[in-house]
């Protein structure tokens, strides 16, 4: 069976466009909770140099000048569109693994020996567009890592490849890997990329040519497996059932500065209660509570504080899961975040 991964282009924006056609072909930004920062951008907005995480107050002039459409995040909508997207994949494959809100791995039978089913992938792209209105790209490969790299390549050159790249083709793989930066390989973070570049490994092709034993010495068994997967040797399995959460978090940004200790504590208590609801819905219990708050990151010297407490016995009772009593008040006009998390 061939590995495949499908991802939705600019997922939050694409989901908004399904239900509001006037957003098509215009710059769109989806904002974080309380409309603080840009968390999703259409291609048109990216072309205007709107960056992920840009605070709205810093880009208001650009928004007005270019007529950028703004939308508040709607996570219920995005979860429903994710369900619909995966339901379509499930019609074409009985092995689907939800990897993130906008990406899923799945398995497809090879169309012919040594090649993936490119025509089948294109049929899936058409089916998802027809049944959900969402635009997707698909990467194919003999391993999970190669399918993920194929998907990234398809995303970077969609106009050339039509949204599908098949890295079963070893000649194509070799050609594309010569140009693909090592830091763009799935699983290679900035620190590891810097370490590899110090060894003269700057491209995906050079990483694939690295001796597995050296990869283990440089980056443990994780890097060794990645190198083997880039060579076409599968080292991972499909995870159809989602594993239980190890932690859950509820984080929100305030829409305006918080000046009252009582208001800050009340907000944090609400977050703690919501965290309890989330873990209870999963049938889980928390053994530790972490509460933290930060002032605005756009003001120098903003305060921050954090406390961690053990919950013994473990619980999902909202009457027990509460903000620690010794959590200090942040006496600052720009107290900005009030999250709580449970693990």
DSSP assignment of 238-281: ---SPPPPS-EEE--EEEEEE--HHHHHHHHHHHHHHHHHHHHH
Give the residue from 55, 74, 93 where a domain finishes.
74
Residue 329 token pair: 């008040």
**Residues 223 and 262 both lie in one domain:** no
Within a domain: 117: no
CA separation (Å) from 306 to 71, 163, 196, 303, 320? 32, 45, 36, 11, 18
**Residues 224 and 262 both lie in one domain:** no
Residue 295: enclosing H or E segment and its boundaries?
strand 286-295
Within a domain: 4: no
Within a domain: 211: yes
**Residues 228 and 265 both lie in one domain:** no
**Residues 316 and 257 both lie in one domain:** yes
Give the residue from 50, 74, 98 where a domain finishes.
74
Residue 54 token pair: 């840009």
- Determine how β-strand 2-8 pairs with β-strand 136-141: antiparallel
Within a domain: 95: no
3-state secondary structure (DSSP) of residue 301: coil
Within a domain: 166: no
**Residues 290 and 318 both lie in one domain:** yes
Give the residue from 74, 95, 126 where a domain finishes.
74
**Residues 257 and 338 both lie in one domain:** yes
Residue 41 token pair: 């951008």
Please tell me the distance from the alpha carbon of residue 132 to that of residue 255, in angstroms, as a whole number. 33
Domain count, the chain: 3
Within a domain: 138: no
First-to-final CA distance of the chain: 37
**Residues 327 and 259 both lie in one domain:** yes
Half-sphere exposure of residue 92: CA atoms within 13 angstroms, side-chain side = 24
Please tell me the distance from the alpha carbon of residue 208 to that of residue 153, in angstroms, as a whole number. 16
Within a domain: 315: yes
Within a domain: 261: yes
pLDDT digits (tens), the chain, 343 positions:
789 999 999 999 999 999 999 999 999 999 987 788 999 999 999 999 999 999 999 999 999 999 999 999 999 999 999 999 999 999 999 899 999 999 999 998 877 777 889 999 999 999 999 999 999 999 999 999 999 999 999 999 888 888 999 999 899 999 999 999 999 999 999 999 999 999 999 999 999 999 999 999 988 899 999 999 999 999 887 766 666 667 777 776 766 667 777 777 777 777 777 787 778 877 888 888 777 777 766 677 677 777 777 888 888 887 777 766 666 665 443 333 344 455 5
Which range of residues forms the domain containing residue 190? 180-233
Q: Are 87 and 124 in contact (CB under 8 A)?
A: no
Which CATH number does the domain housing residue 45 bear? 3.40.1170.60
Q: Are 174 and 121 in contact (CB under 8 A)?
A: no
Which CATH number does the domain housing residue 269 bear? 3.30.1490.100
Spatial neighbors of 277 by CB under 8 A, at least 6 apart, are 318
Q: Are 172 and 179 in contact (CB under 8 A)?
A: no
- Determine how β-strand 103-108 pairs with β-strand 2-8: antiparallel
Which CATH number does the domain housing residue 189 bear? 1.10.150.20
**Residues 273 and 209 both lie in one domain:** no
Please tell me the distance from the alpha carbon of residue 307 to that of residue 285, in angstroms, as a whole number. 19
Please tell me the distance from the alpha carbon of residue 220 to that of residue 203, in angstroms, as a whole number. 19
CA separation (Å) from 105 to 138, 148, 217, 265, 312? 10, 9, 29, 41, 38
Which of 162, 84, 94 lies closest to 123, judged by CA? 162
**Residues 322 and 272 both lie in one domain:** yes
Please tell me the distance from the alpha carbon of residue 36 to that of residue 252, in angstroms, as a whole number. 10
Please give the model's pTM, rounded to 2 decimal places. Answer: 0.75
């Amino acid at each position: 069976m061939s590995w495949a991964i499908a991802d939705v282009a600019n997922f939050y924006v694409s989901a908004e466009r399904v239900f509001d056609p006037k957003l098509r072909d215009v710059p769109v930004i989806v904002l974080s909770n309380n409309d603080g920062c840009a968390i999703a951008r259409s291609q048109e907005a990216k072309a205007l140099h709107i960056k992920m995480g840009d605070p709205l107050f810093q880009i208001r002039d650009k928004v007005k000048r270019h007529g950028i459409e703004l939308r508040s995040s709607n996570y219920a909508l995005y979860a429903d569109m994710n369900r619909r997207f995966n339901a379509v994949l499930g019609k074409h494959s009985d092995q689907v693994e939800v990897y993130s809100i906008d990406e899923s791995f799945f398995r497809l039978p090879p169309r012919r020996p040594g090649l993936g089913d490119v025509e089948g992938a294109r049929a899936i792209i058409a089916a998802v567009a027809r049944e959900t209105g969402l635009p997707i790209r698909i990467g194919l490969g003999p391993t999970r890592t190669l399918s993920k790299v194929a998907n990234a390549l398809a995303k970077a050159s969609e106009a050339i490849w039509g949204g599908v790249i098949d890295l079963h083709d070893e000649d194509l793989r070799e050609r594309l890997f010569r140009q693909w930066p090592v830091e763009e390989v799935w699983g290679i973070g900035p620190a590891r990329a810097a370490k590899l570049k110090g060894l003269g490994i700057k491209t995906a092709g050079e990483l694939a040519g690295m001796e597995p034993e050296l990869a283990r010495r440089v980056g443990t068994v994780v890097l060794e497996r990645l190198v083997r997967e880039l060579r076409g040797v599968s080292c991972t399995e499909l995870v159809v059932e989602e594993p239980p959460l190890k932690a859950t978090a509820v984080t929100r940004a305030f829409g305006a500065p918080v000046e009252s200790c009582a208001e800050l504590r009340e907000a944090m208590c609400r977050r703690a209660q919501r965290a309890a609801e989330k873990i209870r819905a999963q049938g889980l219990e928390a053994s530790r509570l972490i509460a933290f708050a930060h002032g605005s990151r756009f003001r120098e010297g903003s305060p921050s504080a954090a406390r961690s407490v053990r919950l013994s016995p473990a619980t999902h009772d909202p009457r027990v899961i509460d903000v620690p009593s010794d959590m200090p008040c942040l006496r600052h006009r720009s107290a900005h975040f009030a999250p709580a998390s449970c693990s």
